[in-house]
A and B are shown apart, each in its own frame.
Chain A
Amino acid sequence: GGIITQTPKFLIGQEGQKLTLKCQQNFNHDTMYWYRQDSGKGLRLIYYSITENDLQKGDLSEGYDASREKKSSFSLTVTSAQKNEMAVFLCASSLGPYAEQFFGPGTRLTVL
């Protein structure tokens, strides 16, 4: 088995601030993902990475940057936090196509 760790659990920032969310996995999975979860809208893909140093944009990448520093870690940066971005951000990893995605517990973002 393995685990996905997301830090911090709660993130509070000011409008316009640059904020970074971190994700670590010990499954040794190649592919990692960042999703945004808004109530009533499901999960929407922000960025994903199929290997170290690879980055692919999802449907919601505007306003975000990502970095896959090594196989086990994947960071997401909110470039300029806005109040309408308050949501839960979920990190996930998987072995490959059609494989199960394993999710972390999420980071809840609040923008003041």
Chain B
Amino acid sequence: GDSVTQTEGQVALSEEDFLTIHCNYSASGYPTLFWYVQYPGEGPQLLFRASRDKEKGSSRGFEATYDKGTTSFHLRKASVQESDSAVYYCALSDLATGGNNKLTFGQGTVLSVIP
């Protein structure tokens, strides 16, 4: 079945540090890839998505590029702020495996930014 792997379970950075969260996927079809962010006490919300190889998704200074060759969708931000502290989820949707917009999530990465 489909799967998403986030390498980092927790990341601790100082403000203005560069962020990378690694996301690799396995899917039988040609999936759409997503990054969601979850702030304390809230449900996840969409950061951005990408549907094609080499497509870049971006929002609020975060970006990720769909790489079909390496099956990756790594999240990056050049300069993090304390307000970016949250849990980040990589996810995919693959209609080839059936169902209607079923999302498969990675295990999540807890980002803590120290002021």
**Interfacial chain B residues near A104, Cβ < 8 Å:** 43
Given A31-B100, A48-B102, do A43 and B89 touch, yes or no (CB 8 Å)? yes
Most buried by A among B4, B32, B100, B105: B100
| CB contacts between A and B, total, < 8 Å | 61
**Interfacial chain B residues near A8, Cβ < 8 Å:** none
- Chain B residue at minimum C-beta to C-beta distance from A98: B32
**Pairwise interchain contact A96-B101, C-beta atoms closer than 8 A:** yes
**Interfacial chain B residues near A102, Cβ < 8 Å:** 43, 45
Tell me the minimal C-beta distance from A52 to chain B in angstroms. 14
Q: Chain A, interface size: which category?
A: 20 to 34
Q: Which of B74-115 contact A (CB under 8 A)?
A: 89, 93, 95, 99-103, 105-108
Residue in A48, A56, A98 whose beta carbon sits within 8 Å of that of B93 in the complex: A98
Contact with B along A49-64 (1 / 0, CB 8 A): 0100000101000000
A90 at the interface (CB under 8 A from B): yes
Given A42-B105, A45-B102, do A92 and B43 touch, yes or no (CB 8 Å)? yes
**Interfacial chain B residues near A100, Cβ < 8 Å:** 46, 49
A57 to B46, CA, bound (A): 24
**Interfacial chain B residues near A105, Cβ < 8 Å:** 41-43
Contact with A along B3-15 (1 / 0, CB 8 A): 0100001000000
**Interfacial chain A residues near B51, Cβ < 8 Å:** 98
**Chain A to chain B contacts (Cβ below 8 Å), 11 pairs:** A40-B9, A42-B4, A42-B106, A43-B89, A43-B105, A45-B102, A90-B43, A98-B32, A98-B95, A101-B103, A105-B43
A-contacting residues of B (Cβ < 8 Å)? 4, 9, 32, 41-46, 49, 51, 89, 93, 95, 99-103, 105-108
**Which 3 A-B pairs rank lowest in CB-CB distance, beginning with the nearest?**
A103-B43, A42-B105, A42-B107
